Structure 1
């Protein structure tokens, strides 16, 4: 089976709001500069419908994106060249896609906690601005002593792992699991009340 690659739009680069928008014409060119590669590997099939099912029902462990949806691009490696398919409203359209322009932006795993909702994992651009955009207005930040950082407001909480010198890295599997278990059914106010010993910074 061929190697496949999945590309998804990075919201912070999507100035024209192309994410989740459909295409009308086959072989249309897509602006690859707003996309990042979120998977590369072999999933045991070259069938587009089966690939779509795999990336919606049974994500590979090294998949860094959200479930496949409209505007995502599937590359099926071939000889002498690869084929690229745009996930459209109904089915797929073969498109022109320049991989040399794909963003090299780093995506990292975070955990999002919202009131009365099960916590969930989400990959975001490794940039504090992306965290602030995800949460919206009136965001505060708290830093724990176990290399975790939480950005939050009254509606939503975002957890990410702290790296060296103020940088950020992906949560590992254990960290993500512990956060989701701890905050599975708690309201935002309960989360904030546990932050008494943390350093708060208003943005």
Structure 2
């Protein structure tokens, strides 16, 4: 399954980075995730069709076993993963599916 990791760009981390989805929605007043403040930091394939297994695996990889060509900070709260045809928000406690992303 194809995935893309989106992380908040450095110039937007102070206002958008490392927030739970609930915090983010309360501060910004919207459920939309504005991808214009994010950058694509990695794309590849993962060998499972089960979203939660794939997300748990990706969290492990991007925290403990970074790919050699990965040049960003470890995966954290506020990161977004596009996995297959679904979007997921790395929340303060696990993964939350998100249905709307603005680019």
- TM bracket (short chain): 0.7 to 0.9
Which residue is equivalent to 1:23? Answer: 21
**Correspondences of 1:4-153 after superposition (within 5 Å):** 4-12=3-11, 14=12, 17-24=15-22, 28-45=31-48, 46=51, 47-77=54-84, 82-95=85-98, 96-98=100-102, 101=103
Output the aligned Cα RMSD: 1.9
* C-alpha spacing 1:32/1:56, structure 2 compared with 1 (3 Å): same
CA distance in 2, matches of 1:67, 1:38: 11
* C-alpha spacing 1:15/1:51, structure 2 compared with 1 (3 Å): closer
Q: Please give the TM-score of this superposition, normalised by the length of structure 2.
A: 0.78
CA distance in 1, matches of 2:13, 2:59: 26
Runs of 4+ in 1 over 4 A off after TM superposition: none
Q: Please give the TM-score of this superposition, normalised by the length of structure 1.
A: 0.41
Deviation at 1:65, TM superposition (A): 1.9
Which residue is equivalent to 1:149? Answer: none
Higher relative helix content: 2
Q: Which has the higher contact order (CA 8 A, sep 6+)?
A: 2
